Chains A and B, each alone.
Chain A
Amino acid sequence: MLIGLKKINSYVFYILVFILAQLAWMALLGLWIYWYVSNSIIFEEVGEQLSPQLDIDSPSTFIFVGGIILIVAVAFGMSVIFRNLNVQLRLNRLYDNFIANITHELKSPLAAIQLYLETLNSRELSAENKTKFINFMMNDANRLNNLINTILEISRLEQKKIAHDYSVFNGSKIISSLIQESAEQFQLEADKIKFNGNSDSRIVIDKNAMKIVIDNLVDNAVKYSAGKPEIEVKIEDKNKRFVFEFTDKGIGVEQKEVKKIFKKFYRVSDSNIPSVKGTGLGLYWVKEIIKSHGGKIFCTSEGINKGTTFQIELPIYGVSKKQLIKNLLKMKNKRSKHKNSGNEYE
């Protein structure tokens, strides 16, 4: 609570400084105008007496208009800086949150691994228990590895250092096969996933990146469902776009949160969530990947406990966003020339 208070204080402090700065330079301007006006009368009088034929009227409108433009420019600049500062402050706050989450996500599997190692070291165990414990340890090591990879991959994606491997696929086929693959990994029963709709459109995707998208969506469906998750996938073409909708029957998202959940480090803080795991990176990563595919992602939810739908739009090969898709495939061709290997088009 103390820390929260400190943060609010620093926020108020920045606003106060901003307002004071504005007041300061406006006051300065006022002083100058006052000085100019009071002196110009004297100048005029003195000037008229010395050389009545001199014309000093013309530059004043120019100075007046120019001055106003300058004032507007300064105010605009200041507010841009202020807005940026605001964004930074918000990001800092989210980052603190992220550090707390990541500490939990790193330390929990580490604690389990240490516990099992010390158990193995100090106790006589049956063969069955030994296998069980070793399996737990391997799972936790995997979890740590995935988490570390996520952090590294996201920073690479942000710096555009990631080498994408784009190919043309049949949209319907590739998306459903990726979802099934992911469902198997998360040990979901086959009948808990329903597929609707169809599309013959071809899409250009990086299969590995799209797998990450699907994995994150399935993972969220698992984490944010109170019982076993139920997933519905709808595939169709809409407005020259390939669209797939991924719906779970989980706890849903409040209306005010549907945009925020894609922000980096953002996590919905609500105690009615059945899992506390997570870092606030997953959906941000998903959005960035979709963006790099020239697509869009939206989240809709009818509210708490009414499930969540993620709608993903991707450009259709040969129909929409032709130039972008050409560039994506060019990247791939450049890479395959280097590797000198053929590529499978489906």
Chain B
Amino acid sequence: MNKKQKILLVEDEESLAVGLQFNLEEEGYEVVHAREGKQALEFYEKENYDLIILDVMLPYLNGFEIAEIIRKTNPQLPILMLTARTRKEDKIHGLELGADDYMTKPFHLEELLLRVKGMLKRKEWYAASIDSSPVFKFGKSEINFETLVCKSGDKSIRLTPHEAMAMQYLIERKGKPVSRKELLERVWNITSEVETRTIDNFIVRLRKYFEQDPSNPQYIKSVRGIGYLFENDA
């Protein structure tokens, strides 16, 4: 590894923060620690980070608010939410606001480190694959993988990071079928509690964006028994 990957750790509990920082540094990451919401945004604006570990209950600005603010300007930065809240609603709320993953306290150290590693790996792959050509055109559609803004006909929408990653992965393997399992591993964390059904719902959404007739797809096609494939004949 040439350059240390940088993680912004936002946690107001002193003891937890010190322990996390120690462990992440032992794994070879550079860690910046913010103690509350305002400080977190300050640090975020000053430097570039590869990943954010975000507590939810924080003074001044809570984790949900921070995630929302970050997502407005940076749709790709991986966010791992770490919180004592265990209610399903909180989890869904966090993921909706753009967190990539959600872990509840108390957590297992090894699991946390694996998830961080997985998220960073996915980010690297995504960054590398859009590096050469951030804008991809097909048919009447156009996706900018940097800003996640896509145009389809006269419509213009912004994809979620997961949607963009899924599209990116399918496009990268143009013409080759991609299994649901493969998509799960690449786009979501394998440990995430995302079911294969979720992938299908996802594809339905992507087709709505890009297909003129979603029930008769021209680009994002189903492959029976395997998964999906992207085709672009034009």
- A residues with a Cβ closer than 8 A to B are 2-3, 100, 103-104, 107-116, 118-119, 122-123, 129, 132-133, 136-137, 139-140, 271-276
Contact = CB atoms under 8 A, between A and B. Distances in A.
Contact of A122 (B19, B104, B110): B110
A60 B84 CA distance: 69
Contacts of B22: 119, 129
Main SS class of interface, A: helix
10 contacts: A2-B89, A103-B84, A107-B84, A107-B105, A108-B16, A108-B105, A112-B16, A114-B108, A116-B15, A122-B109
B59 A140 contact: no
A276 B13 CA distance: 10
Contacts of B120: none
B19 A133 contact: yes
B101 to A, nearest CB: 16
Contacts of B86: 103
Interface string B30-53: 000000100000000000000000
A107 B106 contact: yes
Contacts of A129: 22
A276 B12 contact: yes
Contacts of B19: 112, 115-116, 119, 133, 136
Contacts of A100: 85
A115 B16 contact: yes
A273 B60 CA distance: 6
Contact of B23 (A119, A140, A276): A119
A275 B110 CA distance: 29
B166 to A, nearest CB: 28
A336 B95 CA distance: 60
B20 interface: yes
B61 interface: yes
Nearest to A226: B59
A346 B35 CA distance: 46
A31 B57 CA distance: 58
Nearest 7 Cβ contacts at the A-B interface: A111-B105, A111-B106, A107-B84, A136-B15, A118-B109, A112-B15, A115-B19
A109 B60 CA distance: 21
A276 B109 CA distance: 24
Interface string B9-32: 000110110111011001000000
A51 B151 CA distance: 99
B135 interface: no
Given A112-B16, A136-B15, A275 B109 contact: no
A275 B106 contact: no
B105 A110 contact: yes
A3 B92 CA distance: 14
Contacts of A123: 23, 26
Given A104-B84, A115-B23, A276-B59, 6 more contacts: A100-B85, A108-B13, A109-B15, A111-B84, A116-B19, A118-B110
A194 B189 CA distance: 56
Nearest to A2: B89
Contacts of A109: 13, 15
Contacts of B15: 109, 112, 116, 136-137, 139-140
A274 B12 CA distance: 10
B203 interface: no
Contacts of B107: 111, 114-115
Most chain B Cβ neighbours within 10 Å, of A113, A116, A137: A116
B62 interface: yes
A31 B107 CA distance: 67
Nearest to A273: B59
A115 B109 CA distance: 6
B172 to A, nearest CB: 36
